[in-house]
Structure 1
């Protein structure tokens, strides 16, 4: 699927040209500034299920220590 211009689902700003993740409304993704905010307290699995994969659906992985562990 070709990449397209996205709007950040969190802040409404430009979120880059990335593939559409199946679990996001069409045209929406995450901007680089909101990745850590949305990832805070999520497990890696739940974040991927909700937002997709870094460098495919959004710009980068969450910063180290942001994602929680599944206990």
Structure 2
């Protein structure tokens, strides 16, 4: 999505999408290492997992809100039955 936003000229959304993907992947790998019994991460694996899932859901919710606002703006002059 970051690439798609960049092509459309939505630089802020491109940056946010790219950073969200990087954060999600970093937390995913930390959680995976912890669940794989890495001695330094085993105690916090669940925390990394939840943070990764939270980052993903936050991005998804922001994207849905953006889409909803765009549709309202686009359909502002149209009547709905």
Do the structures match in fold with TM over 0.5? no
Q: Looking at CA atoms only, which structure, 1 or 2, has the larger radius of gyration?
A: 2
TM-score tier (shorter): under 0.3
Q: 1 or 2, which has the higher helix percentage? A: 2
Higher relative contact order, structure no. (Cα contacts within 8 Å, ≥ 6 residues apart): 1
Q: 1 or 2, which has the higher strand percentage? A: 1
| TM-score scaled by length of structure 1 | 0.22
